[in-house]
């Protein structure tokens, strides 16, 4: 027997992109510019096209150092077990340059149905291809063993009439081969019998039952039929009986049939053949096999609580189904006329195992492998809105498609979607968790970890406003919302064991400010800013020394914040006031309607006569402006009045929301009230508004306070 031995030393390992899910890996031999497909690196799936050539970057050494050149290598081989166990590989296309397919190259590739081998292939499964008067099967290595759905192998050798070893598992009894003529060339379909393969002939099938007959089989899914015409070599032998599972089969028109059996299953048929010459009965057996009913389930739409599936069968042209559908959780769900099955009221973000099934001639077939489908989740997220050394604000979000959300919140905190924490320790790591619960039963969570920035505090030189009072200030990177910061002060000569005086202050736009009273002009003082976290830990700036006897005149400090909350008839406003040299006699907010929004705040305020005022208290003032007109723009600002006059904060504007009750249109039809008189705070009538606060009375019985400079 002659064998062709292919010996190539492959050294270089490279890969090339084939499809999104498949990267083909190679080893290359530089001396002959040859490449071989190798396995072990990828679970190939779907459709594979092996190129005829690949480009390889080769490192060369030249007079000036190393450089690279690109060389072309021919793909000539498939390595041992290269595609073994790739049970999702559906088809493969070989290049015309291919010369050999090694042993076990496609073992257990269960979805392969057709393989077309080019003319230049010299070895399959380790066996040489011998084109001679006989067929050589020696030393094959099962290149396609376990390919249970493989029906056709096409081997293209023009004008050659002999078969070849294809590396299938050897059957117990028989050798199959057939010829198929195409044009003037002979394309030979050659196969070696295997119980775990499903080879389908392109021409006459010669399957020999030892002793007498060939088997001509017609397979279906849940039944199979066969006839047993005699071989001319045994004219004196005839069938005595054919039995299956101990029961004798009787032919109809020379056809034996067994029904109501499983698909894709092998069945042993017992036969007794009588030899007229010897007078003996010969017991023998052979196998017949039903087709594989390949049903599958695909998804056309996946929601959070719904899944839309579609059932299909690859062999449906030959089968008549009484029902197809989905088997799930112990129940059968038939498909509609368009083969869809829709599931609802599912739990978001949960994996469901569903099995397609088909009923054919009273037999029910459930797919052996489940299709795992995961519903979409609500994907909770935490969005960080603000982060300072001592506070943070975060918002919880989620994406809802078709679920019913019944609870959201931050774990361990009384906050549903917006969480603000203050009093944190600077430069400290924190973790928060946000959850979303649905009526359907899901509970999705997400956590985020953040670290607060380092605290910055620098005490400024105090503004001494009198011989006993001083404005103290410090720059800081804390939020305006922080209330746990302030100042400590003590006499310069005070012993360290003496506790410092302490008071909390307010922050505006990165500046911490406070007011110290009852200082003694005969002593120097030290002052420093501090922050006290909720955990009780103190953080300090450096001490700054000042002389309370060195004072000057300072106006009060007044600031206005943007509007916080708006309705159709009200607005919440916020301001900031800090006393200067003069005592404050009144403070609050002044507001009036205007026709135009002001985009930027300004300290240059012109208050009209019909402006209204609201009195407020505290260094940080809060007030609600009520009785406003819907869909109307107002200007407002904070103010403070001392013996020296009135000081205003920045001017802001807002527009009230529309009146959803419909009352607005009725009120707008009423006449605008006219002014009937001006009065001071003691009720005395005035001829015109005076400096300071004036009470204005209107014809509709209402009254407002206005503030004039």
pLDDT tens digits, residue range 569-591? 999 999 999 999 999 999 999 99
pLDDT of 165 strictly over 50: no
Q: Is residue 93 a contact partner of residue 24, using CB atoms and an 8 Å limit? A: no
225-228 long-range Cβ contacts below 8 angstroms, 24+ apart: 225/255, 225/256, 225/257, 225/258, 226/255, 226/256, 226/269, 226/288, 227/251, 227/254, 227/255, 227/256, 228/254, 228/256, 228/271
Q: Measured between alpha carbons, how far is 163 from 460 in angstroms, rounded to an integer?
A: 100
Of the listed ranges 191-200, 403-412, 489-498, 525-534, the one predicted with least confidence:
191-200
Q: Angle at Cα 661 formed by Cα 658 and Cα 662, nearest 5°?
A: 80
Q: Which residue has the higher pLDDT, 156 or 446?
A: 446
- Top mean-pLDDT range of 378-382, 480-484, 667-671, 690-694: 378-382
Name the residue among 212, 352, 377 with its Cα closest to residue 284. 212
Q: Measured between alpha carbons, how far is 486 from 503 in angstroms, rounded to an integer?
A: 6
pLDDT of 135 strictly over 60: no
pLDDT reported for residue 2: 34
Q: Is residue 261 a contact partner of residue 223, using CB atoms and an 8 Å limit? A: yes
Mean pLDDT, residues 402-421: 93
So where are the chain's domains? 12-191, 208-289, 295-374, 381-451, 457-546, 559-662+671-708
pLDDT reported for residue 41: 64
pLDDT of 199 strictly over 50: no
pLDDT of 536 strictly over 80: yes
**DSSP H or E segment with residue 612:** strand 612-615
pLDDT digit string, tens, across residues 320-334:
678 899 999 999 999
Mean pLDDT, residues 116-144: 54
Residue whose tokens read 């410090």? 474
- Structure tokens, 441: 């039963």
CATH architecture of 295-374: Sandwich (2.60)
CATH architecture of 559-662+671-708: Sandwich (2.60)
Please tell me the class of the 457-546 domain. Answer: mainly beta
Q: 208-289 domain in CATH 2.60.40.10? A: yes
Q: Is residue 312 a contact partner of residue 295, using CB atoms and an 8 Å limit? A: yes
Q: Measured between alpha carbons, how far is 32 from 207 in angstroms, rounded to an integer?
A: 44
Mean pLDDT, residues 112-132: 65
- Structure tokens, 19: 């499809």
Mean pLDDT of the chain: 80
Mean pLDDT, residues 169-178: 32
Pairing of strands 652-655, 645-648: unpaired
Residues 6+ apart with CB under 8 A from 342: 306, 307, 308, 309
Beta bridge partners of 256: 226
Helices and strands (H and E) in the chain: how many: 1, 60
pLDDT reported for residue 137: 34
Mean pLDDT, residues 485-498: 93
Q: Is residue 622 a contact partner of residue 643, using CB atoms and an 8 Å limit? A: no
381-451 and 457-546: identical CATH topology: yes
CATH topology of domain 381-451: Immunoglobulin-like (2.60.40)
- Structure tokens, 559: 């600031």
Q: Measured between alpha carbons, how far is 90 from 147 in angstroms, rounded to an integer?
A: 11
Q: How confident is the model at residue 532 (pLDDT cuts 50, 70, 90)?
A: very high
pLDDT digit string, tens, across residues 252-283:
988 999 988 888 888 989 999 998 989 999 88
Half-sphere exposure of 44 (CA within 13 A, CB side): 31
pLDDT of 27 strictly over 90: no
- Environment class of 536 (CB within 10 Å of its CB; exposed 0-12, middle 13-18, buried 19+): exposed
Q: How confident is the model at residue 103 (pLDDT cuts 50, 70, 90)?
A: confident
């Amino acid at each position: 027997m002659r064998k062709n031995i292919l010996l190539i030393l492959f050294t270089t390992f490279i890969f090339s992109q084939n499809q999104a899910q498949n990267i083909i890996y190679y080893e290359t031999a530089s001396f002959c510019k040859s490449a071989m497909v190798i396995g072990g690196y990828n679970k190939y799936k779907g459709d594979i096209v092996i190129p005829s050539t690949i480009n390889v970057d080769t490192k060369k050494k030249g007079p000036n150092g190393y450089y690279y050149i690109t060389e072309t290598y021919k793909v000539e081989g498939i390595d041992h077990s290269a595609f073994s166990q790739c049970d999702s590989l559906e088809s493969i296309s070989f290049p015309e340059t291919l010369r050999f397919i090694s042993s076990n190259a496609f073992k257990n590739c269960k979805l392969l149905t057709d393989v077309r081998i080019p003319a230049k292939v010299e070895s399959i499964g380790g066996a040489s291809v011998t084109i001679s008067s006989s067929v050589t099967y020696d030393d094959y290595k099962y290149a396609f063993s376990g390919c249970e759905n493989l029906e056709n192998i096409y081997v293209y050798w023009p004008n050659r009439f002999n078969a070849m070893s294809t590396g299938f598992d050897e059957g117990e009894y028989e050798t199959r081969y057939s010829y198929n003529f195409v044009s003037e060339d002979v394309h030979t379909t050659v196969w070696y019998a295997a119980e775990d393969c499903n080879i389908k002939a392109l021409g006459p099938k010669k399957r020999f039952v030892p002793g007498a007959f060939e088997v001509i089989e017609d397979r279906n899914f849940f039944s199979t039929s066969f006839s047993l015409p005699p071989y001319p070599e045994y004219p004196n032998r005839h069938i005595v009986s054919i039995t299956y599972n101990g029961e004798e089969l009787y032919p109809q028109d020379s056809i034996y049939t067994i029904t109501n059996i499983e698909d894709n299953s092998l069945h042993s048929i017992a036969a007794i053949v009588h030899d007229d010459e010897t007078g003996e009965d010969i017991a023998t057996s052979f196998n017949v096999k039903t087709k594989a009913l390949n049903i599958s389930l695909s998804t056309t739409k996946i929601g959070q609580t719904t899944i839309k599936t579609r059932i299909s069968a690859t062999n449906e042209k030959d089968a008549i189904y009484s029902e197809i559908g989905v088997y799930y959780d112990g129940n059968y769900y038939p498909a509609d006329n368009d083969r869809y099955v829709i599931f609802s009221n599912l739990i978001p973000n949960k994996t469901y195992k569903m099995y397609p099934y088909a009923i054919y001639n009273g037999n029910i077939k459930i797919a052996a492998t489940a299709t795992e489908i995961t519903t979409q989740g609500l994907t909770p997220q935490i969005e960080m809105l603000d982060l300072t050394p001592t506070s943070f604000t975060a918002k919880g979000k989620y994406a809802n498609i078709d679920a019913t959300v019944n609870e959201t919140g931050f774990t361990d905190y009384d906050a549903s979607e917006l969480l603000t924490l203050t009093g944190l320790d600077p430069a400290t790591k924190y973790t928060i968790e946000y959850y979303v619960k649905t009526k359907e039963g899901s509970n999705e969570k997400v956590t985020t970890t953040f670290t607060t920035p380092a605290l910055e505090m620098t005490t400024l030189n105090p503004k001494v406003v009198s011989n006993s009072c001083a404005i103290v200030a410090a720059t800081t990177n804390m939020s305006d919302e922080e209330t746990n910061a302030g100042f400590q002060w003590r006499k310069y000569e005070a012993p360290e064991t003496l506790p410092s005086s302490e008071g909390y202050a307010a922050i505006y736009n990165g500046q911490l400010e406070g007011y110290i009273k009852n200082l003694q002009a005969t002593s120097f003082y030290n002052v420093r800013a501090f922050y006290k976290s909720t955990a009780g830990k103190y953080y300090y700036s450096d001490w700054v020394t000042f002389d309370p006897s060195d004072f000057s005149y300072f106006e009060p400090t007044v600031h206005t914040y943007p509007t916080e909350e708006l309705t159709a008839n009200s607005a919440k406003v916020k301001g900031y006031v800090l006393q200067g040299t003069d005592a404050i006699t009144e403070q609050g907010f002044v507001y009036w309607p205007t026709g135009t929004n002001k985009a930027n705040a300004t300290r240059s305020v012109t208050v009209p006569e019909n402006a209204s005022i609201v009195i407020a208290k505290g260094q940080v003032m809060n007030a609600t402006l009520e009785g406003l007109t819907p869909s109307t723009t107002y200007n407002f600002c904070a103010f403070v009045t001392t013996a020296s006059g009135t000081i205003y904060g920045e001017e802001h504007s807002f527009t009230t929301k529309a009146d959803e009750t419909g009352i607005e249109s009725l009120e707008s039809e009423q006449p605008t009230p006219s002014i009937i008189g001006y009065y001071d705070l003691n009720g005395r009538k005035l001829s015109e508004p005076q400096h300071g606060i004036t009470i204005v009375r209107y014809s509709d019985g209402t009254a407002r306070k206005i503030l004039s400079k």
